[in-house]
Amino acid sequence: MLDLYPEHPAIAEARYQLGLAWRDEGNPRKALAQFVEAFRQDPAGPIAPKALLQAAEALDQSGDLNGCLRLLQLVRNQAPQSPEAAEAGWRINLRVKHRIFRPTPKNQGPWPAGKVKWLKTPILMAQNADGEIVLYQDDLGQAFLLRGGELTAVGAKVPNIKAMFVAPSGVPWLAQPKASLYRDEALGPVPIPGVSAPSGMFMDRWGTVWLADAKNPQLTLLGADGQARSVPSPALNALAPLRDGAVAASDANRTLLILDAAGQPKLQVPYGKDMPASFRYVLALATDPTGNIAGLVEGGDFDGVVVWGPDGAVLRYATFRALGISGKFRSLVFDREGGLILADRSNDLLVRLD
Amino acid sequence: MRRPPPTLLVPALLALFAPAPPAAAQDALKESIAQAKALWTTSGDRDGAVAKFEMVLAALEPKGRSLEGEPLGMLCETYAWLAVLDDRVPEKRPNAAKRLESLLDLAPDYDIDRTLATSRLAAVFDALRAAKLGSVQFSFQPEGGLLKVDGRAVAPVASKRLPPGAHLLSYAKPGFETQELSATVAAGAATTADFKLSRVSSTLTVFVHPSGAEVFFDGKSLGKATGQAGPELSPHAEPLGLKPEELSAAFVIGDVKAGKHTLELRAGCFKPVKVEIAETYTAPFADHTLAPFKLLPSKGALTVTSAAPGGELFLNGQGYGPLPQAALAVCSGAYDLVVKYSSGGYAERIVVPEDKSVRIEARPKPRLAVLGIEGADEFMGRGALAQAIAALGPRVSEVACLPTRDGETPAEALIRLQASKEAELTFLARPLRGPGGTQVELVLATLDGEEQRFLDRPLDSDPLSVLVQRLNRRPPLWEPSLGVTLLDVAGFEAGPHVLSGDPAVMKEGIRPFRAFATVNGKAVPDVAALRRILAESVGKTVQVTQMGVPSELKVDLSPLEIPLNSAAYAYPFLLADLRLKALAAKGDEQAALKLNQAIALMHFRRFDKALELLREVKFASDRGVSTGTAQYYMGLCLLRLGSVYTPDAINAFTLAMNHPLATLFGPDGPLVAPLAQQALADLKP
């Protein structure tokens, strides 16, 4: 279209879509060029704020944090009333907080404030498209949407769940040991061959479900068409999505693996690298849309929380002792303010770290 | 001594003119009459005098009864003198009588000079007059009116000789009802005509300075008070500081009915005067002479300057010379101000108030030649469209509209304009007939052929609105900047945070990732608030505090790029406007304007012409939109020109990477270097 109809009014949209395609192909520099061209066509047009937002993300993926921040601010300057401007503001704050200022994590106590001993063994957490938390309470065998401090049951009631994510529809998908996947209450479990001990799960932007297995040396990718394929991998103890792939933890190799869109490792970060003490196990991983990675870690000389950047660099860390908290933390998520929410299964509460 | 033959030039010339000879010819005739008289009175040269008089007669006699005023007087005098001269020669005496008859036919009231005529001739004249004419004895009540005899105005005399027959007499005076009488005149007999007029209204006689002021009575113009007053007005003129000849002749306002009225006097360059005429002036009916009016001058001062060279000032079509014009004293009022440049023009309707100074900064605006509607075929809405096109000029403030020329087709106009370069833009409306009706394509183009088309409907309430909006709109070319890139960060320090900056600014002690807490002593919450302060401080220095430490930073203008394909603009207009602005600009300003011209040319896919301009772009500053930006665009243009230029494109992108602070779009846009790097990677096999 670009070659045949260079003056067509839809050129900006075409360039934008081409940029998204390059992004999904894992080529942020080519994506950046297309997003910049989409913006150039008409900086006041409807595509411009989206193109600029994506260009900013492409710059961050290319390793240019300052360039990313400039463009995010440009979105706010050029289209202050647009939803992209609000999104840009949030992404600026996350990046500056975690990667530039890096304040020492602080324990803010039970979250929501005042809520103690109110849960029934929370062991898993995930977020829906709006950033709201869905948590699985083991004693109840049910996932719940947490909104306004209140819990509402969502999805199928299934006991003994080991991995969970929230689909775009808002329904939690639940994985049981021995390869059963629960999507819809009405449909019943779906067997997943080759997966015996699910340890992490998410759906990527193409609708493919990634499943990590703590016992089998493979990463299972379940396509939207229902076809499953395996990617060779060490046994993985935790899994979380990144914008262009995933992050996974291998306790056996004591390595954090940053995977590309095909599931192939592109970066490996040894446990404890650039930290005062190392750890042995990663209990849970969480990520935010800017590519920051948070992990609940224990064993060795370090029990606590670690935050890595998208390039695997350690940004912040804190032991539970230093944070003044104790409990059995089994899951964590980033909230919209850049803080971390930890699920304490022994004290039946959630804790927020800023 | 032989006399030179009488010249026939003057009669020949006079024959060309009717009814009255022009002033120069009249002067020649007067001279001839004077020479003829002198020949007789001083030399006794009868033949010479007769020859001269015959020459005058030949010039004036053909016009006969149509003559009035001085030429009539000259003809009468000529007849009289010829009669006197013919009477001197016995064989010519019959001619004398014929001359006198002709004289009496022409001017019944004419009397010969009895000091020149013999008593015989005088007796012949009297007898002829008595036999040919009768007389009318007039009485006038009131006196001082205008007498007309058979439709011709004559002085209201007590007695007048007229040829026998019926005559229509009328007598009129302002404030009185005109009276007409018929009089039958018998030869040799006298009759009477008594005029007694009835009063029907009052009159007002007005004298005004300056002469030529327009007189308005009850809001209606009655004409101008012209001429000069006579010396009898001295007692009234002197208190006003005027000589009587500086007042107009009497302007009589007749037919002033009973009641209140308003009288207004207006003259260009003078303050108008408006007075209420009280009822005492209008009833009972009477003639009133008002005290003379002296209008006071009404002037203002006009200063016109321009950064562009070569402008010439015109006000209401009158030239005032080259710019700048400082404190030009002009009459107060409205003017069509035009500044003509070698390229472009500036036009503005201005008002110069009395005792006020008006300052205009002119700049050449693109001249838009309106070519009209293509073709002569009728279609629905053609009339409305033509009207809208004729009214386009006042609606577009950023171009100077040149209207269509009568009788010139659009094609002819285009040829003329391309040869004369009298305009930068052309506009043509082209009807497009289709099964659904007729639409109109509004074609806006530069003389070089960069063209943009807008589709519209001739029957819309405003068929040109799509064009007018775009011609009145320009994208911003500059934005104020402190030389730093700022960031909104919540939850840390209050105020916009510094992300990065020009090395010279950072050397002042500005630190990255710390906030500007205050600007000019006031807290600024975010980047938007700071940008508003900067917009009002261009060219000035502002004081910012960061971590309690103040710094003085200058607010400069950083260039912005125009969008490449926005539907909000008319790109031929943008291109023409940028070209004109660049003529008057220097340094980085000119470089930025040329860069934007290149982008406008890229909109039209004129990559070759864009390339030529980009080669001329050299910025002193290396940050923001700058030389590196131009290098990057050169690379893009070279890629468009074909694979033979790929090596040059590679060179351009490589040079672009040598400018690490160059950006696209504006000072806070994406850096050029990574994009150039990607372009190079794409070009490698």
DSSP string, A257-314: EEE-TTS-EEEEEETTTTSSS--SEEEEEEE-TT--EEEEEESTT--EEEEE-TTS-E
Per-residue pLDDT tens digits for B246-278: 999 999 999 999 999 999 999 988 999 999 999
The residue written with tokens 């003379």 in the block is B292
Same domain flag for A83 and A154: no
Distance CA B495, CA B480 (A): 18
Distance CA B24, CA B28 (A): 6
Task: Look at residues A101, A84, A4, A97 and name the one whose alpha carbon lies nearest to residue A39.
Answer: A84
Same domain flag for A219 and A88: no
What top-level class would CATH report for the domain B478-558? Answer: mainly beta
The residue written with tokens 């609940």 in the block is A296
Retrieve residue A25's tokens: 């192909």
Distance CA B437, CA A66 (A): 56
**Does B640 lie at the interface with A, CB-CB under 8 angstroms?**
no
| Homologous superfamily assigned to B562-683 | Tetratricopeptide repeat domain (1.25.40.10)
**Does B473 lie at the interface with A, CB-CB under 8 angstroms?**
no
Distance CA A11, CA B250 (A): 78
End-to-end C-alpha distance for chain A, whole angstroms: 48
Inter-chain residue contact A41 with B565, CB threshold 8 Å: yes
Confidence of residue B6 (pLDDT cuts 50, 70, 90): very low
All residues of chain A having their beta carbon less than 8 Å from the beta carbon of residue B669 are 70-71, 74
Distance CA B624, CA B558 (A): 7
For strand A172-176 and strand A163-166, is the pairing parallel, antiparallel, or unpaired? antiparallel
pLDDT of the residue at A226? 79
**Does A87 lie at the interface with B, CB-CB under 8 angstroms?**
no
Average pLDDT over residues B451-462: 87
- Count how many Cα atoms sit within 13 Å of the Cα of residue A282 in the half-sphere of its side chain: 32
Measured from the Cβ of residue A178, the count of other Cβ atoms closer than 10 Å reads: 12
Say if residues A288 and A335 touch (Cβ distance below 8 Å).
Answer: no
Per-residue pLDDT tens digits for B286-321: 999 999 999 999 999 999 999 888 899 999 889 999
Q: Residue B181 pLDDT more than 90?
A: yes
pLDDT of the residue at A184? 67
What top-level class would CATH report for the domain B202-294? Answer: mainly beta
The residue written with tokens 């999904």 in the block is A24
Q: Residue B5 pLDDT more than 60?
A: no
Q: What phi, psi does A256 have (nearest 5°)? A: -95, 125
In the stretch 95-124 of chain A, residues with CB closer than 8 A to chain B read 96-97, 100-101
Same domain flag for A274 and A212: yes
Which of A101, A134, A166 represents a domain boundary (last residue)? A101
CATH code, A76: 1.25.40.10
B681-to-A155, B103, B254, B650, B685 alpha-carbon distances in Å = 49, 110, 94, 10, 9
For a pLDDT cut of 70, what percent of chain B falls above it?
Answer: 97
Listing DSSP states for B353-372 in one string gives: -TT-EEEEEE-PBPEEEEEE
Measured from the Cβ of residue A170, the count of other Cβ atoms closer than 10 Å reads: 14
Task: Look at residues B441, B435, B433 and name the one whose alpha carbon lies nearest to residue B380.
Answer: B433
Q: Answer left, alpha or beta for residue A160, where phi above 0 means left and psi between -120 and 50 means alpha.
A: left
Q: Residue B7 pLDDT more than 50?
A: no
Nearest-Cα residue of chain B relative to residue A66: B499
Side by side, which strands form the sheet with B357-362?
B325-331, B299-306, B357-362
Q: Is there a domain that residue A34 lies in?
A: yes
Confidence of residue B17 (pLDDT cuts 50, 70, 90): very low
Listing DSSP states for B493-562 in one string gives: SSSPEEEEE-HHHHTTT--TT-BEEEETTEE--SHHHHHHHHHT-TTSEEEEEETTEEEEEE-EEEE-PP
**Does A9 lie at the interface with B, CB-CB under 8 angstroms?**
yes
Give B406 or B659, the one with higher predicted confidence. B659
Q: Taking the alpha carbons of A45, A50, A53, A57 in that order, is the dihedral positive or negative?
A: negative
Residues 6+ apart with CB under 8 A from A159: A138, A141
pLDDT of the residue at B20? 60
The residue written with tokens 């405003």 in the block is B462
pLDDT of the residue at A179? 60
Task: Look at residues A121, A116, A108, A103 and name the one whose alpha carbon lies nearest to residue A159.
Answer: A121
pLDDT of the residue at A187? 66
Q: Which helix (H) or strand (E) holds A58?
A: helix A48-61
The domain B299-362 having CATH identifier 3.80.30.20: the answer here is: no
pLDDT of the residue at B595? 97
Inter-chain residue contact A42 with B490, CB threshold 8 Å: no
Q: Least CB-CB distance to A42: which of B565, B674, B677?
A: B565
**Does B566 lie at the interface with A, CB-CB under 8 angstroms?**
yes
Q: What phi, psi does B168 have (nearest 5°)? A: -100, 120
Retrieve residue A93's tokens: 């704050």
pLDDT of the residue at B11? 45
Q: Residue B546 pLDDT more than 60?
A: yes
pLDDT of the residue at B672? 95
Same domain flag for A199 and A319: yes
Same domain flag for A93 and A111: no
Residues 6+ apart with CB under 8 A from B670: A32, A36, A55, A59, A67, A70, A71, B663, B664
pLDDT of the residue at B137? 93
Same domain flag for A148 and A167: yes
Q: Residue B415 pLDDT more than 50?
A: yes
Look up the domain containing A83 and give its range.
11-101
pLDDT of the residue at A186? 62
B671-to-A13, A93, B477, B488, B647 alpha-carbon distances in Å = 22, 22, 19, 20, 23
Name the DSSP class of A10. Answer: T
Average confidence (pLDDT) per 10 residues, chain A, 354 residues? 74 91 88 92 90 94 91 93 91 89 89 91 92 93 92 90 91 84 72 84 90 91 85 93 92 93 91 92 94 93 93 92 92 89 94 92
- Please work out, in degrees rounded to the nearest 5, the angle formed at the alpha carbon of residue A46 by the alpha carbons of A41 and A47: 55
SS3 label, residue B1: coil
Q: Mean pLDDT lowest for which of A274-288, B500-514, B623-637?
A: B500-514
pLDDT of the residue at B348? 82
Per CATH, B367-471 and B478-558 having the same topology is answered no
Distance CA A165, CA A67 (A): 32
CATH code, A246: 2.120.10.30
Q: Is there a domain that residue A292 lies in?
A: yes
All residues of chain A having their beta carbon less than 8 Å from the beta carbon of residue B527 are 73, 76-77
Q: Least CB-CB distance to B671: which of A9, A67, A76?
A: A67
pLDDT of the residue at B429? 93
Q: Mean pLDDT lowest for which of A121-125, B8-12, B453-457, B675-679?
A: B8-12
Q: Is there a domain that residue A249 lies in?
A: yes
What top-level class would CATH report for the domain B134-196? Answer: mainly beta
Retrieve residue A36's tokens: 């910049």
A210-to-A176, A223, A281 alpha-carbon distances in Å = 14, 9, 21
- The residue among A69, A75, A78 with the most chain B CBs within 10 A of its CB, best to mutate, is A69
For strand B134-141 and strand B159-162, is the pairing parallel, antiparallel, or unpaired? antiparallel
Same domain flag for A95 and A111: no
> Can you give the C-alpha Rg of chain A in angstroms?
21
- The residue among A53, A96, A99 with the most chain B CBs within 10 A of its CB, best to mutate, is A96
**Does B679 lie at the interface with A, CB-CB under 8 angstroms?**
yes
All residues of chain B having their beta carbon less than 8 Å from the beta carbon of residue A11 are 565
Inter-chain residue contact B513 with A36, CB threshold 8 Å: no
> Can you give the C-alpha Rg of chain B in angstroms?
42
In the stretch 49-78 of chain A, residues with CB closer than 8 A to chain B read 55, 59, 62, 64, 66-67, 69-71, 73-74, 76-77
All residues of chain B having their beta carbon less than 8 Å from the beta carbon of residue A39 are 665
- Count how many Cα atoms sit within 13 Å of the Cα of residue A132 in the half-sphere of its side chain: 18
Inter-chain residue contact B492 with A32, CB threshold 8 Å: no
All residues of chain A having their beta carbon less than 8 Å from the beta carbon of residue B674 are 29, 32, 59, 62, 64, 67
Distance CA B180, CA B151 (A): 11
Q: What phi, psi does A67 have (nearest 5°)? A: -60, -40
Which of A58, A83, A101 represents a domain boundary (last residue)? A101
- The residue among B450, B558, B564 with the most chain A CBs within 10 A of its CB, best to mutate, is B564
Residues 6+ apart with CB under 8 A from B523: B494, B495, B517
Average pLDDT over residues B515-533: 93
All residues of chain A having their beta carbon less than 8 Å from the beta carbon of residue B486 are 73
Per-residue pLDDT tens digits for B366-399: 999 999 999 888 888 899 999 999 889 889 988 9
Q: Which residue type sits at B231?
A: P
pLDDT of the residue at B482? 93
Q: Is there a domain that residue A4 lies in?
A: no
Same domain flag for A265 and A160: yes
Give B584 or A21, the one with higher predicted confidence. A21
Q: Is there a domain that residue A6 lies in?
A: no
Distance CA B633, CA A142 (A): 59
Q: Which residue type sits at B138?
A: F
Name the DSSP class of B624. Answer: B
Inter-chain residue contact A73 with B669, CB threshold 8 Å: no
Distance CA A130, CA A133 (A): 9
pLDDT averaged over every residue in chain B:
90
Same domain flag for A173 and A91: no
Residues 6+ apart with CB under 8 A from B324: B303, B304, B305, B306
Inter-chain residue contact A77 with B491, CB threshold 8 Å: no
Query: Looking at chain B, how many residues does it have?
Result: 685
The shortest C-alpha distance from B540 to chain A (Å) reads: 22
Q: What phi, psi does B149 have (nearest 5°)? A: -120, 115
pLDDT of the residue at A227? 84
**Does A32 lie at the interface with B, CB-CB under 8 angstroms?**
yes
Task: Look at residues B206, B178, B330 and name the one whose alpha carbon lies nearest to residue B265.
Answer: B206
Domain count, chain A: 2
For a pLDDT cut of 90, what percent of chain B falls above it?
Answer: 65
Q: Answer left, alpha or beta for residue B101, where phi above 0 means left and psi between -120 and 50 means alpha.
A: alpha
Inter-chain residue contact B564 with A40, CB threshold 8 Å: yes
Retrieve residue B557's tokens: 């203008």
Q: Residue B444 pLDDT more than 90?
A: yes
Q: Least CB-CB distance to B486: which of A30, A39, A73?
A: A73
Q: Residue B541 pLDDT more than 60?
A: yes
Q: Which residue type sits at A121?
A: T
Distance CA B532, CA B546 (A): 19
Which of A77, A101, A125 represents a domain boundary (last residue)? A101
Question: Domains of chain B: which residue ranges?
Answer: 9-132, 134-196, 202-294, 299-362, 367-471, 478-558, 562-683
> B351: burial class by Cβ within 10 Å (0-12, 13-18, 19+)?
exposed
Task: Look at residues B369, B445, B358, B426 and name the one whose alpha carbon lies nearest to residue B402.
Answer: B369
Same domain flag for A136 and A150: yes
The domain B367-471 having CATH identifier 3.40.50.11240: the answer here is: yes
Same domain flag for A29 and A77: yes
Same domain flag for A341 and A327: yes
Per-residue pLDDT tens digits for B38-57: 999 998 999 999 999 999 99
Distance CA A323, CA A353 (A): 8
pLDDT of the residue at A139? 94
Retrieve residue B84's tokens: 């006197």
